[in-house]
């Protein structure tokens, strides 16, 4: 996977993960995350995508191999994480939830307010700052979760199948918005999904993983300037989807049993 260009923000080399119950989730995973890219980890469920993401985030330690950050271990401070569920605190408002990362860093509520409101407007929730999570729809809760991850202006945003539980219309809308956020904020995103279509629409690069144990099977670069609603119905998109789907099938065959 030697490729030219700037040094990756974070590199995984030979990363393996064996859980306490003896289950080997990852084995010899090599992965580079490059500055500014939208990288998707694509694979069938149970192939270790979440495990890989948690290892990158430092929420889980690898059993073998190394995780190297270009800017030293402190770079972990610049991570934003979005889980599959919105994972909001039900006892506080949308504002309170988005304030959390700043609060934990010792910020003052009043001083943080402009930044929070700006982030909320980015995800289209300006009018819902004082609403409680249970008053919101699933899609809106996920927007709050994204706003919470963005409010610290992270260097790298890790997302673990954030839209898997949403209906198709909401998912498309959030996909569109995520692409424009990625463009505007020039962030680096690592996005976990089991949907080839979603990964093609969003990503600049797709890494396809084999199941049990998880490792990289294949890599695709999606090089297109026009990522908008029209792209979704274009022949170009269909072409990429076919290639991705073939790569996914090849990966499933390569793994022991899916």
Ligand X SMILES: Nc1ncnc2c1ncn2[C@@H]1O[C@H](COP(=O)(O)OP(=O)(O)O)[C@@H](O)[C@H]1O
Range 66-105, binding another protein (CB under 8 A): 77, 79, 81, 83, 85, 87, 89-92, 100-101, 103-105
Return the DSSP state at 207: E
Q: Which does 21 bind (CB under 5 to 8 A by kind): Mg ion, ligand X, another protein, none?
A: ligand X
Closest by CA to 87, choosing from 97, 76, 72, is 97
Q: Residues 4-43: x/- map of binding to ligand X (CB under 6 A)? A: ---------------x-x-x-x-----------------x
- What is the binding site for Mg ion (CB under 5 A)? 50
58 binds another protein (CB under 8 A): yes
3-state DSSP of 139-163: HHHHHHHHHHHHCCCCCEEEEECCC
CB 162 to ligand X: min, Å: 12
Q: How far apart are CA 135 and CA 158, in angstroms?
A: 26
Q: Which does 101 bind (CB under 5 to 8 A by kind): Mg ion, another protein, ligand X, none?
A: another protein
CB 120 to another protein: min, Å: 18
Q: Residues 126-155: x/- map of binding to another protein (CB under 8 A)? A: ------xxx-----------------x---
Range 37-56, binding ligand X (CB under 6 A): 43, 45-51
CB 52 to ligand X: min, Å: 7
193 binds ligand X (CB under 6 A): no
3-state DSSP of 57-126: HCCCCCCEEEEEECCCHHHHHHEEEECCCCCCCCCCCHHHHHHHHHHHCCCCHHHHHHHHHHHHHHCCCH
191 is written with which tokens? 């996005």
CB 59 to another protein: min, Å: 5
98 is written with which tokens? 């988005």
Q: Residues with Cβ < 8 Å from 79, sequence gap 6 or more?
A: 57, 58, 154, 155, 156, 157, 158
**Site residues, another protein (CB under 8 A):** 54, 57-59, 77, 79, 81, 83, 85, 87, 89-92, 100-101, 103-105, 132-134, 152
Residues within the interface to ligand X (CB under 6 A): 19, 21, 23, 25, 43, 45-51
């Amino acid at each position: 996977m030697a490729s030219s260009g700037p040094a990756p923000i974070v590199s995984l080399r030979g990363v393996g993960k064996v859980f306490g119950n003896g289950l080997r989730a990852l084995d010899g995973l090599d992965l580079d995350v490059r500055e500014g890219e939208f990288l998707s980890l694509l694979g069938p469920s149970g192939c270790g995508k979440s495990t890989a993401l948690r290892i990158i985030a430092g929420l889980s330690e690898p059993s073998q191999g190394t995780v190297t950050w270009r800017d030293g271990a402190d770079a972990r401070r610049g991570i934003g994480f979005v889980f599959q569920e919105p994972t909001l605190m039900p006892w506080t408002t949308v504002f309170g939830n988005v304030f959390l990362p700043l609060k934990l860093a010792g910020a003052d509520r009043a001083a943080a307010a402009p930044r929070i409101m700006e982030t909320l407007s980015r995800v289209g929730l300006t009018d819902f700052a004082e609403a409680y999570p249970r008053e919101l729809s699933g899609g809106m809760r996920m927007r709050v979760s994204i706003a919470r991850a963005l409010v610290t202006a992270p260097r790298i945003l890790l997302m673990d199948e954030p839209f898997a539980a949403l209906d198709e219309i909401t998912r498309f809308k959030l996909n569109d918005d995520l692409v424009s956020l990625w463009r505007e904020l020039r962030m680096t995103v690592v996005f976990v999904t089991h949907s080839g279509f979603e990964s093609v629409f969003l990503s600049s690069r797709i890494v396809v993983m084999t199941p049990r144990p998880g490792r990289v099977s294949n890599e695709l670069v999606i090089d297109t300037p026009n990522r908008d609603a029209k792209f979704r119905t274009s022949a170009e998109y269909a072409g990429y989807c076919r290639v991705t789907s073939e790569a996914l099938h090849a990966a499933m065959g390569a793994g022991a049993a899916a």
